Amino acid sequence: MDFAARITGTGSAFPKKRVTNDSIVQKLSKLGITTSDEWIRERTGICERRISDVEKPEEHNSSLGFSAAQKALEMAGKSPQSIDQIIYATCSPDTPLPSTACWLQHKIGADHAWAMDINAACSGFIYGLVTAEKFIQSGQVKIALVVGGEVLNPILNWEDRNSCILFGDGAGAAVVEQVPSDSSRRILRSHLRSDGNLWDLLCVPAGGSNMEVTPERYAQKLHKLTMKGKEIFKVAVKTMADFALITLKKNQMTTDDLDWFVPHQANLRIIEAVAKRLKFPMEKVLVNVDRYGNTSAATIPTMLDEANRDGRIKSGQTVLLDAFGAGLTYGSILVRW
């Protein structure tokens, strides 16, 4: 018997604290750095984001993932005990060891699962979904829980106005189940690729095994995120548009066959430029970057959950997910909902 994978439940969770552009303006002005609500809105489309209070265990990355996963399991009508595999996509793990997936397993009580993290930065949820699909197709996994979650706030450099205004915290989850391969509602196609030559466009230089955080490096903020925004912008627009078309073509489809396009939410201008390149109407592009900023691996699953719950995405519709992230990594996946 051949198998396919289907998303049967979604969930999302965000920290309580809303941080408006104006509160960032005030925070940065205390450091002598100028920005404005107008600049942030016009250049990024972001109005506010949520920021975790990391002193509160309930706002740790795996705790947000836990809340999102509970909602997804409830929608799918599944218990934590029924999960075979947990994949946690994140570039801001709770701890270097153990994995955030194991933290989540501990919190949710998925005693029969095996758990692992995937770090593909903002493309992480798509990488996770494709990995779960392959295990499900092989017959080794019947029910997977795929989470994209981030608490990026501790790695942001609040003295870098170019990057700190962009990011937010949150988590989204999907329950992915085995279905017969001839099911109409399933993951249809995907396309993944990365380009490690572009590693320096977005990175956190210190804190890994190749660069310990010494007092000097701490003072230089080498343990914080650094980004070449303009360069990423250009690569992102071209690659996301290319990947969307490649994945559709693999399934003998064009953008005319799509009901919804769910791009990674990094910047509204990137999203609009991709839609323009694809000649795809913005009315069918799902956007939450205005309210949550760039939550990296969480942007796509949180957006999917919102549109799934409010009834925009309907059963049987065709949805294309498309992302890019640090690495650089790229990925797109076509789903019949």
Active-site positions read: 122, 264, 294
Nearer to ligand UT7 by Cβ, of 39 and 114: the residue is: 39
Distance CA 337, CA 329 (A): 25
Q: Which of 192, 266, 268, 274 binds ligand UT7 (CB under 6 A)?
A: 266
> Is residue 161 close enough to count as binding ligand UT7 by CB under 6 A?
yes
> Is residue 30 close enough to count as binding ligand UT7 by CB under 6 A?
no
> Is residue 39 close enough to count as binding ligand UT7 by CB under 6 A?
yes
Residue ranges in 176-195 that form contacts with ligand UT7 under rule CB under 6 A = none
Nearer to ligand UT7 by Cβ, of 80 and 293: the residue is: 293
What is the distance, to the nearest Å, from the Cα of residue 336 to the centroid of all Cα atoms in its chain? 20
Q: Which helix (H) or strand (E) holds 171?
A: strand 170-180
> Is residue 104 close enough to count as binding ligand UT7 by CB under 6 A?
no
Distance CA 191, CA 80 (A): 30
Residue ranges in 230-249 that form contacts with ligand UT7 under rule CB under 6 A = 230, 232-233, 236
Burial group, residue 80, by CB count within 10 angstroms (0-12, 13-18, 19+): buried
> Is residue 288 close enough to count as binding ligand UT7 by CB under 6 A?
no
The residue with its CB nearest to ligand UT7 is 229
Burial group, residue 53, by CB count within 10 angstroms (0-12, 13-18, 19+): middle
Min separation Cβ 154 and ligand UT7, Å: 17
> Is residue 227 close enough to count as binding ligand UT7 by CB under 6 A?
yes
Q: Which of 105, 190, 294, 295 binds ligand UT7 (CB under 6 A)?
A: 294
**What is the DSSP code (8-state) at residue 59?**
G
What are the residue ranges of helices labelled H in the chain?
21-29, 37-44, 61-76, 100-108, 124-138, 161-164, 215-219, 229-250, 268-278, 289-292, 299-309
**Are 258 and 285 in contact, with CB atoms under 8 Å apart?**
no
> Is residue 35 close enough to count as binding ligand UT7 by CB under 6 A?
yes
What are the residue ranges of helices labelled H in 91-123?
100-108
> Is residue 43 close enough to count as binding ligand UT7 by CB under 6 A?
yes
Reduced to 3 states (helix: H, G, I; strand: E, B; else coil), residue 272 is helix
> Is residue 289 close enough to count as binding ligand UT7 by CB under 6 A?
no
Min separation Cβ 332 and ligand UT7, Å: 15
> Is residue 29 close enough to count as binding ligand UT7 by CB under 6 A?
no
CA 274 → CA 131, 156, 218, 289, distances in Å?
Answer: 26, 26, 37, 15
Distance CA 246, CA 194 (A): 15
Q: Which of 87, 165, 173, 321 binds ligand UT7 (CB under 6 A)?
A: 165
Binding segment toward ligand UT7, per CB under 6 A, in 104-112, 137-145, 157-165, 238-246: 157-165
Binding segment toward ligand UT7, per CB under 6 A, in 36-44, 72-80, 133-141, 274-282: 36-44
Q: Residue numbers of the site for ligand UT7 (CB under 6 A)?
A: 35, 39-40, 43-44, 122, 161-162, 165, 202, 227, 229-230, 232-233, 236, 266-267, 294, 325
